[in-house]
Structure 1
Amino acid sequence: MTFLTRAGTTVAAALTAVACAGSAPGATPTPYTSGPTPTSTPTPTSPTSTPASAASVASVAAPELTDPRPCPGQPDVTCADLTVPLDRTGAVPGTLKLRTAVLGAADAPKGTLLFLTGGPGQPGVPFVQRIRERLPEALARYRLVMIDQRGTGEAAVDCPELQREVGSSDTVAPTAGAVTACAESLGVKRNLYTTADNVADLEDLRRALGVGSWTLDGVSYGTFTAGRYAQTHPHRVRKLVLDSVVPLDGAGVLYEHSLGHSAQVLRTACREQACDFDPARDLATVVRRDGNGVGVFNLLVIASIIDPKLDNPRFGILGAIHASASGDRARLDGLVAGFSAPSEEQPSEFSSGLHAATLCADSRWPWGDASAPVEGRERVLKQAVQRIRPAAVWPFERETAGAQGIPRTCLPWPASRPNQAAPRRTLTMPVLILAGDRDLSTPVRWARDLAAVTPRAELVVLTGAGHSTQSRSDGGARAVQKFLLR
């Protein structure tokens, strides 16, 4: 049998709205998952130093949108550029030009809606058309704004080897050489792609638009950026939509909740398709026999984005798992290889280099923050993995948690400046939290945990949905529009 691969003309890029996502065969792109500098550039700050306070940050005095022009193929959408400081401490000179897109009038009845895509690594401007198709009633009363966040889009961070190995996947494990080559090519600039930098850029964007407050809608990594912005500038946010939540404390890097949730996703799909076997038990048999937990997990994470009910006969995932457990490994091995194959995704579509720089700065690691020395990280990671209860990640083995792509990307990433912590503020504005009950990229547990500590939260869990609910689920789009139009 011929299996599709990520590389080649038969394969489209997968939904990349993910802090956690990947490329997959036959998927349709939907939203929501700078050139290199010499390594000899002097380091402006030691990796253990914290970013300068807001009062000392070098900032554009009066940010503005320049060079307004019609966006390609959308004459009613205005593209313009926002120029921001490369380094807001002022230690590294230079600026970045971020592309923005605006649809609608400044005096829209409901104000301005900023829509943030995911990754980190995904641009925003190319997805204006998709958002206007999904949220037409809301956008009749809002002005829509989207932005290519720093290091994405036309000015994307380009790390060719890492790009080829992982594309937009969180769970495919890169080689250490590809990771370190990327960090070395960025040099000191690897410190300048944190979410705190993005939050400051967004505040400049708000000022350039001339609005006192706005509504934010973030998907996957976009929920992290939107949430951090709301914690930093609470009085500037009217409402907040968080779709496919990434924990705001930077936790979740070992994916224990997703690994364990896969059993329920598999069994629910099998029940709906009237299977006469237990796919979770079969999966447990396969990964223990073949040691392919990371590859199978990557397959299931991507499937939860593009085929959350696991009923696409083109893939036949449930049957492939059962056949492999019974001794016929060919179908599952082919799927695993195809979904993990080298990527042809371009950095302008999803920057794996930006993804690594931001992920490694932002996350909460077993070894500490991004400033921790590389030496000793592996030992601490192994200790953290051994503390995971095997039942918590079944049908996978707990070793899969430490071997998948997120920790393997940041394990060899050089000590760097960590993301500046947001104020520990509860989100007090009205917040709509959306989750798909089949999502293995950002599991529903993360959404429930955030809703439990958010006073004005409305949690909507969509049955049968996966990642990026408002883009891929009619129920998700309806819930967002209802919330925005209140």
Structure 2
Amino acid sequence: MTFLTRAGTTVAAALTAVACVGSAPGAAPGPYPATPSAAAARPSVARGLTDPRPCPGQSDVTCADLTVPLDRTGTVPGTLQLRIAVFGKADAPRGTLLFLTGGPGQPGVPYVQRIRDRLPEALAQYRLVMIDQRGTGGAAVDCPELQKEVGSSDTVAPTPGAVTACAESLGAKRNFFTTADTVADLEDLRRALGVRSWTLDGVSYGTFTAGQYALTHPHRVRKLVLDSVVPLDGAGVLYEDALGHSARVLRTACREQRCGFDPARDLATVVRRDGNGAGVFNLLVIASIIDPKLDNARFGILNAIHASAAGDRTRLDGLVAGFSAPSEEPPSEFSSGLHAATLCADSRWPWGDASAPVEERERALKRAVQRIRPAKVWPFERETAGAQGIPRTCLPWPASRPNDAAPRHTLTMPVLLLAGDRDLSTPVQWARDLAAVTPRAELVVVEGAGHSTQSRSDAGAQQAEKFLLR
């Protein structure tokens, strides 16, 4: 087996690059045969949810459906059926906990068992609710060419043709996958469950969704856990903070493993010589999710960078190719089409919002890249900021309806912000920036952790439970 195949297999098995809560249960999808005792143990669901049934492989979890309009203005007809999972009793002592997964593009229901395993003490006192947000799961947006090119990666740059083919296949529907649409779905869910207020816990893009909901409906939110924070103003699309943070992550890994050289300086040499910054950055982001300490024995990334700086490009070029190889991840596990539609609508772009004409965007992006201070993104070149997958996905995305901004700008409820100090997907600076403008924020930086601390770090899960049970 060649290394490229091994790398591709490893990446496919890893969780999403911006969106992860952990490994989904291994049970195959499909109806689960209920028994009288299992049915008795399942929690009841509100009348606003239809077709209650046992969730696949989990007899004590109830799945049901929430029907919502595609377009709440009624201009474009149609409805969406969103799958919901409920675990625990409606009269749980601390109420209902809505856990939101990431992406955008990742479903929620397959991860119920993972969250139960990670937050057992909290879920002894909360009822857990999870949702396949619009465009994910069994009703995922399916764009085959884009799905194959990028899978669940933010930082792999797709071809313009794959992006436009996806948008054209969606047609007018592409306008209704904004986070504001999802926020409205969540409010419908709250009403269907019959709860006056609840607690929200979001990971990665889930922090954006949870934050937007809390800004829109502050009196409905008791507490917030925001793990691996995405900026709530839609900024950060050029990834300057992550590019610059890579130097610290590489040097810390080298110091811990006594590698005997400076991998950040070597990386600076390589990307300036070879112009491969976007590919190397994608490699580091994905590898840091799989292994935030960048164990050199696992992928050999530190040695590969050092060898390439010295003139032997073979190993690093193989890693870069392997980590950007075509994906076999199905849209039901992560929808790259939904990811594009939501990302392009929600974000704050150098060219304005999603309604900006496509032909004006490249010039605006180039101007924004030239304004970046080189020291901010070192060891990368600033051109890497414009070449990585996030802007390259949305440059050709047709003009569309932008996300409706939340009516408020400040979170007023108690908020726990969790960040891994090795996270290159949602760098710790984003959490620090949000903490600085949130009056009741508590920031916990988990040492040695990367993305999705509750799922991949015992310390992160413990901090979340401590906050939830306070």
Provide the residue aligned with 1:288 in structure 2: 272
Taking the aligned partners of 1:392 and 1:343, their CA distance within structure 2 comes to 32
Q: 2-side partners of 1:8 and 1:426: how far apart? A: 41
Paired residue for 2:166, among 174, 182, 201?
182
> Which runs of structure 2 are paired with 1:69-468 in the superposition (5 Å)?
69-468=53-452
Q: Percent identity at matched positions?
A: 88
Paired with 2:65 and 2:331, the residues of 1 have a C-alpha distance of 19
Spell out, residue by residue over 1:99-139, the C-alpha distance to the aligned partner (whole angstroms, 9 max, x if none).
00000000000100000000000000000010000000000
Distance 2:206 2:22 in 1: 19
Measured in 2, the distance between the counterparts of 1:266 and 1:341 equals 23
Deviation sequence 1:196-234 (CA, Å, 0-9, x none):
000000000000000000000000000000000000000
The residue number in structure 2 matching 1:43 is: none
Residues in 1 aligned to 2:389 and 2:79: alpha-carbon distance in whole angstroms: 31
Letter in 2 for 1:355: H
Higher helix share: 2
Matched, 1:29 2:23: yes
1:223-247 Cα distance to aligned partner (Å, 9 max, x none): 0000000000000000000000000
Please say if residues 6 and 341 of structure 1, whose CA atoms lie closer than 8 Å, have aligned partners that are also in contact: no
- Unpaired runs of 5+ residues, structure 1, are 22-26, 32-61
Corresponding letter in the other structure for 1:385: V
Question: SS where residue 223 of structure 1 aligns?
Answer: helix
Tell whether the 8 Å contact from 2:103 to 2:204 is kept in structure 1 after alignment. yes
Q: Distance in 1 between matches of 2:333 and 2:7?
A: 15
Alpha-carbon distance in 1 for matches of 2:173, 2:76: 8
Task: Determine if the alignment matches structure 1 residue 16 to structure 2 residue 16.
Answer: yes
Return structure 1 stretches of 4+ with deviation > 2 angstroms.
Answer: 4-13, 27-31
Distance 2:312 2:442 in 1: 46
Aligned residue number for residue 33 of structure 2: none
Aligned partners of 1:150 and 1:198 also within 8 Å: yes
Q: Find the aligned partners of 1:424 and 1:140 in 2 and give their Cα distance.
A: 33
SS at match of 1:108: coil
Judging changes above 3 Å, is the alpha-carbon distance between structure 1 residues 139 and 105 closer, same or farther for their aligned structure 2 residues? same
**Change beyond 3 A, Cα 1:451–1:481:** same
Q: 1:411 to 1:63 in 2, by over 3 A?
A: farther
**1:424 CA displacement:** 2.4
Code of the residue aligned with 2:294 in structure 1: it is: L
Indicate if the aligned counterparts of 2:296 and 2:302 stay in contact, CA closer than 8 A: no
The Cα shift of 1:5 comes to 3.5
1:257-314 residue CA offsets vs partner (Å, 9 max, x unmatched): 0000100110011011112100000000111111110110001001121111011512
Whichever residue aligns with residue 29 of structure 1, its letter is S
Q: Helix, strand or coil for the counterpart of 1:82?
A: strand
- Could you tell me which residue of structure 1 aligns to residue 43 of structure 2? none
Q: Is the 8 A contact 1:434 1:460 kept in 2?
A: yes
CA contact (8 A) 2:308 2:316 kept: yes
Classify the secondary structure of the residue corresponding to 1:314. helix
The answer as to whether partners of 2:292 and 2:423 remain within 8 angstroms in 1 is yes
Superposed CA RMSD in Å reads 1.6
Given the two structures, how large is their TM-score scaled by the length of structure 1?
0.90
For 1:422, what is the secondary structure of its paired residue?
A: coil
CA distance in 2, matches of 1:421, 1:452: 20
Give the stretch that moved more between structures: 312-321 or 300-309: 312-321
The SS at the match of 1:442 is: coil
Q: Matched residue of 2:380: which SS?
A: coil
CA distance in 2, matches of 1:413, 1:142: 41
Task: Judge conservation of contact 1:310–1:317 (CA < 8 Å) in 2.
Answer: yes
What SS class does the counterpart of residue 75 from structure 2 fall into? coil
Q: How many residues align?
A: 450
